[in-house]
Amino acid sequence: MAELIKIFDTTLRDGEQSPGATMNVTEKVRIAEQLEKLNVDIIEAGFPISSEGDFGAVKEIAKKIKRSRVAGLARANPQDIDRAWEAIKGARHPMLHTFISTSDIHLKYQLKKSKEEVIKIAARSVARAKRYTPNVEFSAMDATRSDIDFLSAVCEAAIQAGAITINIPDTVGYAIPSEFGELIRTLRQKVKGIEKVTMSVHCHNDLGLAVANSIAAIQNGARQVECTINGIGERAGNTSLEEIVMALRTRKDLLRFESRIIPKHLFATSRLISKITGMVVQPNKAIVGANAFAHQSGIHQDGILKEKLTYEIMTPESVGILKTSLVLGKLSGRHAFRDRIKDLGYRLSEKDFQQAFDRFKQIADKKREIFDEDIESIVVEEVLRVPRRYKLIYLNVVAGNVTVPTATVQMEVDGKLLQEAGFGDGPVDATFKTITKITRTKAKLLQFAINAITSGTEAQGEVTVRLEEKGQTVIGQGADTDVIVASAKAYINALNKIEFKKQKLGV
C-alpha cells in the first residue's frame, strides 16, 4: 500500500517573496480557496508579523478555509509566535510554524549567537507555540549547510518541546539529491524521537534541483514536502507542487507514495497564480507549461495520433488541460496535417490534399508556427478557391489632423454595384465601417497588422486581419502600395471566407 506524502503549500508565503509577486487580501483568499479545492494538506497563509496587511490576509484566510490546516510562520521569538497565533486562531485547523537558523554562517553573521543559545531558543519557541495549538512545526533554516551533530541536537530539542513536524530546508538550494537524501537518512538515524514526528523538506531551486532533492528526501524517510504552485518563490523559486505531485503519480513503479492532491485542478490553479502574480509560466514548464503537451516533430505527431503513450507519460486531461496540442510547423508531417484539416471540417481529395500540403510546407519554411486560420486560408483560397461574393471597385479616403476621416467605397456585391460613405476614428476605421455598411455583415475585428513586403518609401504593404463571426475565425490578407487599399482588400478577403464557410460548409 502506498504511503501518504503530505503537501504543505507555501505559495502565499514563500511564493509571495518572489520579486513582483505581492498579492492583496482578496487575491490571497481566492488563492487559498483554490488550494483547498486542490486538496493540499497545509496552507502556509503568510508571515503575520511582517506587516499589517499580511496579518489581515492570514486572519481572513483562517476564517475561510475549512478542510486544510492553515499555518502561520513565526521566527523563534515570543512576539512572532504570539502574533502568528492571533492571526490563525480562528482557523478550524490552525498550525504554528517557527524557525531558526542552524548553519555556522548564519549563526556568525546573521544571528550572532552560540550553538547552545540556538538550541535553547528553539526549544523555548516550540514550547510557547505548543501552548496555543498541538500542531507545531519547527524548521532549521539553512539545514543543508549545518553541522550534522548540531542540526541533530536542535531537531531533538524541538521534538522534546512538542513539535509534531520537523522541517529540513535546503534554504539556499545548495544540495544535490544524493547528498540531501543522505542527510535525511542520517537525521532519521541520529535524532531521538524522530520516528514519532513527520519529517518535512523545503527545497529551493537555485541549482534547478528542488524537485529532485524532494524526491530523494521522500525515498529516505521524509513524509511531507513544502512546495509552491509553478515553483515560485525566493530567488530561483521552490519545489514545484505540480511537478512533485505528478512525479509521485506517474512513477508509482519506483515511488510507492501518494498525495491527496486532486490533479485535475492543477492547470487551473497554475493559471490563477500566474494571473494574480503576473509571473508568466514559461512555455517549457513541466506539467502546466503551454508546450507540456504540445508536439511539433512529425515523428512525434505521428506517434501521438496512433497511440498517445508513445510520447506522453501522462494525459493532459489528468492535470486539467483539455487535450494534446499538435503544433503545426516545418517539422510536421502529412498525418498531423491531414488530421488538422479534418478537425477544421474540410474533406479533400488526395490531389487537393497534396496541393494543400505542399503549400503548407512552403509557408512553414517562412513562419515559425502555422495557425488554424493559415490552414483554412490555404484550403479555401488556394485549393477550393473561394468564390468572391464581395469585390472592391473603388475607394477614396479623406483624412488629416483637421478633418473627420471619411471613406467612400464602391463594391460589387453578388454582381451588383453598391456605394456608400462613412466616418471613422481614422482612415482604416472609416474604410472598415463603410464596407460593413455595404455588406451588412456583423463580423468582429480581432486583429489588424501591417507589414512592408518591399523596402523603400514606395514599399508595398501587406495587411492581415483576423475576423470572427458566430464563433468562426478567419484570416484575410491584402497587399498594395497604399496601405488603406491593402486594408480594404484584406477585410473584404476575410468577409469572403466567412461567406464561403457559411454557404459551402454549413457553418
CB atoms within 10 A of CB 340: 18
The partner residues of 136 in beta bridges, in order of sequence, read 96
Residues 368 and 418 placed together within one structural domain of the fold: no
The torsion defined by the Cα of 202, 215, 284 and 304, in degrees rounded to 10, comes to -150
Residues 267 and 353 placed together within one structural domain of the fold: no
The answer to whether residue 131 scores a pLDDT higher than 70 is: yes
DSSP, collapsed to helix, strand or coil, labels residue 428 as helix
* Within-domain flag for 464: yes
Residues 264 and 213 placed together within one structural domain of the fold: yes
Distance CA 59, CA 61 (A): 6
Inter-residue long-range contacts of 397-403, CB under 8 Å, 24+ positions, other chains counted? 397/427, 397/430, 397/431, 397/484, 399/426, 399/427, 399/430
Distance CA 378, CA 363 (A): 10
Residues 233 and 317 placed together within one structural domain of the fold: no
Task: Identify the pLDDT of residue 294.
Answer: 57
Distance CA 92, CA 65 (A): 7
> Residue range 163-169: average pLDDT?
98
Phi, psi angles (nearest 5°) of residue 224: -145, 140
Residues 231 and 304 placed together within one structural domain of the fold: no
* Within-domain flag for 462: yes
Residues 32 and 137 placed together within one structural domain of the fold: yes
* CATH number for position 34: 3.20.20.70
Look up residue 182 and give its three cell numbers: 543522505
* Within-domain flag for 412: yes
The answer to whether residue 70 scores a pLDDT higher than 90 is: yes
Give the residue, 351 or 121, on which the prediction is more confident. Answer: 121
Look up residue 210 and give its three cell numbers: 528542488
Residues 33 and 155 placed together within one structural domain of the fold: yes
Residues 448 and 357 placed together within one structural domain of the fold: no
Distance CA 300, CA 306 (A): 10
* CATH number for position 485: 3.30.160.270
Give the residue, 208 or 23, on which the prediction is more confident. Answer: 208
Residues 345 and 324 placed together within one structural domain of the fold: yes
- The DSSP call for residue 289 is S
Last residue of a domain, one of 355, 383, 411: 383
Yes or no: say if 210 and 171 are a contact pair by the CB < 8 Å rule: no
* Within-domain flag for 287: no
Distance CA 269, CA 11 (A): 11
The answer to whether residue 310 scores a pLDDT higher than 80 is: no
| Chain segment 335-388, per-residue pLDDT in tens | 777 877 776 667 778 888 888 888 878 777 766 666 666 776 677 666 766 667
Summary mean pLDDT of the chain: 87
Q: What is the largest CA-CA distance in the chain?
A: 96
Residue whose C-alpha cell reads 549567537 in the numeric block: 113
Residues 29 and 105 placed together within one structural domain of the fold: yes
The answer to whether residue 507 scores a pLDDT higher than 50 is: no
Tell me which residue of 170, 249, 177 sits closest to 220, measured CA to CA: 177
Please state, for a pLDDT cut of 90, what percent of the chain lies above it: 59
CA atoms within 13 A on the CB side of 138: 36
Residue whose C-alpha cell reads 496540442 in the numeric block: 325
Alpha-carbon distances, residue 417 vs 236, 402, 421, 430, 461 (angstroms): 64, 32, 14, 20, 27
DSSP, collapsed to helix, strand or coil, labels residue 281 as coil
* Within-domain flag for 34: yes
The partner residues of 356 in beta bridges, in order of sequence, read none
Last residue of a domain, one of 383, 416, 446: 383
* Within-domain flag for 285: no
* Within-domain flag for 144: yes
Q: Kind and range of the H or E element at 417?
A: strand 416-423
Residues 414 and 437 placed together within one structural domain of the fold: yes
The partner residues of 73 in beta bridges, in order of sequence, read 97
The partner residues of 240 in beta bridges, in order of sequence, read 228
Residue type, position 439, single letter: T
Task: Identify the pLDDT of residue 18.
Answer: 73
Yes or no: say if 237 and 208 are a contact pair by the CB < 8 Å rule: no
Task: Identify the pLDDT of residue 389.
Answer: 87
Last residue of a domain, one of 250, 277, 304: 277
Tell me which residue of 86, 163, 164 sits closest to 124, measured CA to CA: 163
The answer to whether residue 502 scores a pLDDT higher than 70 is: yes
Phi-psi region of 467 (alpha: psi -120 to 50; beta: other; left: phi over 0): beta
- Split into its structural domains, the chain has a count of 3
DSSP string, 45-108: EE-GGG-HHHHHHHHHHHHH-SSSEEEEEEESSHHHHHHHHHHHTTSSSEEEEEEEE-SHHHII
Q: Kind and range of the H or E element at 127?
A: helix 115-132
CB atoms within 10 A of CB 322: 9
Please state, for a pLDDT cut of 70, what percent of the chain lies above it: 85
- Strands 136-141 and 94-101, sheet pairing: parallel
| Chain segment 278-291, per-residue pLDDT in tens | 787 887 888 887 66
Residues 364 and 459 placed together within one structural domain of the fold: no
Q: 422 lies in which domain range?
A: 390-504
pLDDT tier for residue 305 given thresholds of 50, 70 and 90 = low
* Within-domain flag for 55: yes
